[in-house]
Amino acid sequence: ETGVTQTPRHLVMGMTNKKSLKCEQHLGHNAMYWYKQSAKKPLELMFVYSLEERVENNSVPSRFSPECPNSSHLFLHLHTLQPEDSALYLCASSQEVLLQETQYFGPGTRLLVL
């Protein structure tokens, strides 16, 4: 186990649903990340948080809304998604948002949008 947990592991939702993905890290890290991994593209960085402050929004559509209430928890709120949003959503954490800090990944949430 990497110390990063994600729930749910699998999620099926319709385009009109609202759901949330949860990530929790037990490593005492200050930085957390959301990535999208789809069959069509390499691993894509979505959002970066440092000490609960968003420091990067990598041109992600507004139907994805992140929330970081504290340095241990990260959420990704989903609403009115499209079928092309189906993918594996990975959360990661690192000690700081620095290049040479190892990122530790959770197991991901496999999302299917119908």
Partner 1 sequence: GESVGLHLPTLSVQEGDNSIINCAYSNSASDYFIWYKQESGKGPQFIIDIRSNMDKRQGQRVTVLLNKTVKHLSLQIAATQPGDSAVYFCAEPLGLNSGYSTLTFGKGTMLLVSP
Which residues make up the interface to partner 1 (CB under 8 A)? 2, 4, 33, 38-43, 45, 48, 50, 55-56, 90, 92, 97-100, 102-108
Residue 82 dihedral angles phi and psi, to the nearest 5°: -110, 155
CB of 45 to partner 1, least distance (A): 7
Rounded Cα distance between 35 and 69, Å, is 18
CB of 50 to partner 1, least distance (A): 7
Sign of CA dihedral 12, 15, 19, 23: positive
Residue 2 vs 65, nearer CB to partner 1: 2
